[in-house]
Chains A and B, each alone.
Chain A
Amino acid sequence: MNKTSEQQIDQSAKFAFSFFVASAGLWLLAAALLAYIAAAKLTDPLLLSSWEYFTYGKIKISQANAFVYGWGGNSIFAVSLWIIARLSQSPIRGTVFLIFAGAIWNLAITSGLLGILDGHMLGHELLEMPKEVWPALFISYIIIAFLILVVFRSRRQKVTIAPQWFIIAALIWFPCLFLFAWNGLEINVGRGTLQSILSMWFGQNIIWLWLTPVALGCAYYIIPSVLNRPIDKYYLAIFGFWCIAGLAPWSVVHHLEGGPVPMWVPAVGTVMSIAMVFPIAVASTNFHATAFKDVSRVWNYLPLRFVIFGTLSYTISSYIGVIFSIPAVAKLTQFSIINEFHFNQRVYGFFSMIIFGLVYHILPQVTGKEIGTAAKNFHFWTSALGVFALLLAYLIGGLTHGVLAQQPTLAWITVIDSVKPYFLITEFAFIILGFSQLVFVLNLWKVIVPNPFSCCEKNVEQKTA
């Protein structure tokens, strides 16, 4: 009976899940292309320079937005729908509304990015899309989040577990964050650098309180369910969750260190971001203590390999992030391309890797069709290699950049000249990642979108029979 209800849930999620994953895939490719163009423009500034639509700034900003809202948003909807439905043992309702809202979400992002390229961007971090698209984005988000919460409310098991906390919290955080930021940036506009504080707070929190908790929730779901053993030291998870909830909104402003803002703002940020070692340690213990009890299963089951790559990368780079928030170190790295390292490790090395794993895990259950092992392995190894090269280049390049920029006698162009080799490496890394993601998305679409010729083939078979 349990079996059938799981199948019913998968069946109910099939259409919405496929829609969101398919559109997430397209956004992933768009972001990969934009990322490559941006990286290539740093090695050859003349590239595409005669078209106003493709200035470096516009490309870079639309890439971040395509990645976070296009790929991030759609994949968050897809995995949270399925995980929440499975954990609630309750089917998804209102698929029509989900698809409708999803279509608006995607159209709004498309027009938002075109708006950025056409020169109508706003000056707030990750809120750069023009004013007009935000109401549409907000309303469609509310519809989708509401329908996921409806599934959660009708759950059979009243007691909730870690993946539910993280995913539900992320779903609630995003609209709250948006309203707080929108109020201070567009309605009761703050004066002077108050805008900068709020824009930094929003831009960083989108990563910390939207993408990160969903990915952590996914890991808390998939690790015990695949390994068939409970999370090690599960009692710590609740502490880790509230630590992130309590500390992350405060910690993100440490990036303003030394800037023209009240001094207590970055000071509070620095203290809180150092305190972030606790939730990082908790999540890392929970995941890795559980996973390393059955390494062969982790290694052989590809979705789990993706997830553990993501959690490892989360642990390592979050600790690096804590180190870089210490004022003595931040002095060097604050304005260097280390910022690219932070962004990319979080969205590529952590969030995307976990989502890839989840998609490979969920897809066969929902559609009944499997992506070929060779393609999956190719995707894993190229992703791992690309992410590794990208992050290493940004890390070492960022340190070089930061240290040299602190030599007052060194001409600026000399500083940039010594960072150029690292820009070249990132360009290659984005090519590798682009190919890797192309393979992923092609296979995804092959599984999701029904082959238009398949019904003809059936007809032929029937006739011959």
Chain B
Amino acid sequence: MNNIFKFAIYIFLTLAFAWLAFFVGAKNQYGDLEPTSEYLEENKSVPKDADLFPKSMSGNAQLGAKEYLSLGCVTCHTQQVRTIDAGFDVERGWGQRPSVPRDYILQKEVLLGHNRVGPDLANIGLRGYTREWLHKHLFNPQILVEGSICQPSPFLYDVANEYSTGAINADNEADDNASTIFIKPTLRANRIVSYLESLKQDYELPEMSFIETQDEDAEDVEDVEDVILAEESTTKEAQSGVPTWLADQIASGKEIYSKITPGGGMCVGCHLPNGLGQPGAIPPLDGSDWVLGDKERLIKISIHGLMGEVVVNGKKYVGAMQGFGQTLGSPLNDQQIADVLTYIRNEWGNSVSAISPEEVKAVRDSHKNRELTSMWTEAELQKQNSSD
């Protein structure tokens, strides 16, 4: 410590290590992060002709981002939806899903912010505000939201007492004595509003799918998804009639179904979030006689897979599905298979009995001698079924 040069190097290194991790390390991880499709093919490639997300902003919106930055809006507004574990952002309706790094990859000015004196704006473009409403809010927030402490920005508008083309009526409805005011947005105001309208994370990404919350269909008691969030609350359980263990199983099944990284089932990649599959290749799960029917057959397929021709709901499909019992890739255990099967039996229009881990174990044990990589064929399954 007594040699200033040595000391200076140590001091420099303390920072350099942290910088290496947070900047160089994270930069490596971000690497080739590019816009991608909502779902990937089985081999993790982007399907042909699929729309890529996130989309880049319009030129007007990009200019609006600069105005947004220069006025200091970021002081009070965040633009990030936190993960489910880190806060109630999705429940509050700030977004349909947590934000991920990929969402920001095309933005020049990344304005995450870290104060929420005002609402989060990551999905302001999805909340159904009209351009006119946004302009009026920019001009004077207090005429729309009583008690708002947001900064009015009248300097962005030409104010007049008479109507002219493109002008917006911005009367203070709470104040009867106020005179009629028409505001005409300047170029800058239009840019900001375009920017706000462009802020929406309304697409799913392979790494993050939408999370359904309670208030979306609060009245639809049948919708089992609603109950997932209420699992801790016994009163809510009584109202919906779905026991907590079932809701737990379904929630965990949904996660396995949607997760495409190791540890997940990757089901969503082929069967899609809506469970409809693809005509001719991937059979649907929604309303499928195979899903709603014999439990044993369903468990067999999920452990060993299925290949060749298969007739579902009277339609023919040709393809192959890997089994999830095999040790290659990411095997699922009995509990996970039970969860994901229970989920597909109770999602979309489906609503039938749950499958327990014990049932899965029984099937797995009875076919212990079958090679895990040898997939079932429809003929085999039908034969066994009839012989039972």
B58 CB to closest chain A CB (Å) equals 19
Q: Does A120 contact B (CB under 8 A)?
A: yes
**CB < 8 Å: which of B86, B100, B104 contacts A330?**
B86
Question: Which residues of A50-68 have CB atoms within 8 Å of chain B's CB atoms?
Answer: 50-52, 55-61
**CB < 8 Å: which of B69, B110, B213 contacts A192?**
B110
**CB < 8 Å: which of A200, A335, A406, A420 contacts B115?**
A335
Which residues of chain A are near B119, meaning CB under 8 Å?
412
Which residues of chain B are near A407, meaning CB under 8 Å?
88
Contact A57 B74 (CB under 8 A): yes
Q: Does A459 contact B (CB under 8 A)?
A: no
From known contacts A56-B75, A197-B22, A257-B82, infer whether A262 and B101 are also in contact, taking CB-CB under 8 Å: yes
Contact B22 A191 (CB under 8 A): no
From known contacts A260-B103, A327-B86, infer whether A195 and B75 are also in contact, taking CB-CB under 8 Å: no
**CB < 8 Å: which of B141, B151, B154, B215 contacts A57?**
B151
One digit per residue, 1 when the CB lies within 8 angstroms of any chain A CB and 0 when it does not, for chain B 76-87 equals 101010110111
Q: Of B25-33, B161-169, B240-248, which stretch is located at the interface?
A: B25-33
From known contacts A184-B23, A194-B27, A337-B115, infer whether A123 and B99 are also in contact, taking CB-CB under 8 Å: no
Q: Does A214 contact B (CB under 8 A)?
A: no
Please classify how large the interface on chain A is, using the bins under 10, 10 to 19, 20 to 34, 35 or more.
Answer: 35 or more
One digit per residue, 1 when the CB lies within 8 angstroms of any chain A CB and 0 when it does not, for chain B 1-26 equals 11010011011101111110111001
Which residues of chain B are near A123, meaning CB under 8 Å?
69, 74, 109-111
Contact B4 A153 (CB under 8 A): yes
Q: Does A456 contact B (CB under 8 A)?
A: no
Q: How far is the CA of A73 from the CA of B72 in the complex (A)?
A: 24
Which residues of chain A are near B129, meaning CB under 8 Å?
none
From known contacts A176-B12, A262-B101, infer whether A416 and B117 are also in contact, taking CB-CB under 8 Å: yes
Q: Does A271 contact B (CB under 8 A)?
A: no
Q: Which residue of A lies closest to B119 (CB)?
A: A412
Contact B117 A337 (CB under 8 A): yes
Which residues of chain A are near B27, meaning CB under 8 Å?
190-191, 194
Which residues of chain B are near A172, meaning CB under 8 Å?
7-8, 11-12
Q: How far is the CA of A102 from the CA of B71 in the complex (A)?
A: 30
Contact A258 B74 (CB under 8 A): no
Q: Does A196 contact B (CB under 8 A)?
A: yes
One digit per residue, 1 when the CB lies within 8 angstroms of any chain B CB and 0 when it does not, for chain A 381-414 equals 0000000000000000000000001111100110
Q: Does A121 contact B (CB under 8 A)?
A: yes
Q: Does A133 contact B (CB under 8 A)?
A: no
A330 CB to closest chain B CB (Å) equals 7
Q: Does A104 contact B (CB under 8 A)?
A: no
Q: How far is the CA of A192 from the CA of B54 in the complex (A)?
A: 12
Contact A192 B82 (CB under 8 A): no
From known contacts A45-B148, A405-B116, infer whether A190 and B23 are also in contact, taking CB-CB under 8 Å: yes
Contact B115 A339 (CB under 8 A): yes
Which residues of chain B are near A420, meaning CB under 8 Å?
149
The CB with the most chain A CB atoms within 10 A, among B87, B107, B215, is that of: B87
Q: Does B98 contact A (CB under 8 A)?
A: yes
Q: Does B46 contact A (CB under 8 A)?
A: no
Report the count of interface residues on B (CB-CB < 8 A).
Answer: 78
Which residues of chain A are near B151, meaning CB under 8 Å?
41, 45, 49, 55-57
Q: Does A169 contact B (CB under 8 A)?
A: yes
Which residues of chain A are near B82, meaning CB under 8 Å?
257-259, 334
Q: Does B316 contact A (CB under 8 A)?
A: no
B2 CB to closest chain A CB (Å) equals 5
Q: Does B223 contact A (CB under 8 A)?
A: no
A228 CB to closest chain B CB (Å) equals 25
Q: Which residue of A lies closest to B152 (CB)?
A: A49
Q: Of A11-19, A21-29, A106-114, A245-253, which stretch is located at the interface?
A: A245-253
Q: Which residue of A lies closest to B229 (CB)?
A: A408
Which residues of chain A are near B23, meaning CB under 8 Å?
180, 184, 190, 194, 197-198, 201
Q: Does B70 contact A (CB under 8 A)?
A: yes
Contact A259 B70 (CB under 8 A): no
Q: How far is the CA of A409 from the CA of B215 in the complex (A)?
A: 9
Which residues of chain B are near A339, meaning CB under 8 Å?
114-115
Contact B116 A192 (CB under 8 A): no
**CB < 8 Å: which of B1, B22, B88 contacts A265?**
B22
One digit per residue, 1 when the CB lies within 8 angstroms of any chain A CB and 0 when it does not, for chain B 274-305 equals 00000000000000000000000000000000
Contacts A/B (CB < 8 Å), 27 sampled:
A45-B150, A46-B142, A52-B153, A57-B72, A123-B74, A123-B111, A149-B4, A153-B4, A160-B2, A176-B15, A176-B16, A190-B23, A253-B22, A257-B86, A258-B83, A258-B85, A259-B82, A260-B101, A261-B101, A262-B26, A334-B86, A335-B114, A335-B116, A337-B117, A408-B214, A412-B118, A413-B145
- Beyond A123-B109, A196-B104, 9 additional pairs, beta carbon < 8 A: A172-B7, A180-B23, A190-B23, A201-B19, A259-B80, A327-B85, A330-B86, A406-B87, A416-B147
The 7 A-B residue pairs with the shortest CB-CB distance, nearest first, are: A57-B72, A258-B86, A258-B82, A249-B18, A119-B70, A335-B116, A57-B75
B interface residues with partner A (beta carbon < 8 Å) = 1-2, 4, 7-8, 10-12, 14-19, 21-23, 26-27, 29-30, 33, 69-76, 78, 80, 82-83, 85-89, 91-93, 98-107, 109-112, 114-119, 141-142, 145-155, 213-215
A interface residues with partner B (beta carbon < 8 Å) = 41-43, 45-46, 49-52, 55-61, 119-123, 149, 152-153, 158-160, 165, 168-169, 172-173, 176-177, 180, 184, 190-198, 200-201, 205, 209, 238, 245-246, 249-250, 253, 255, 257-262, 265, 268, 327, 330-331, 334-337, 339, 405-409, 412-413, 416-417, 420, 423
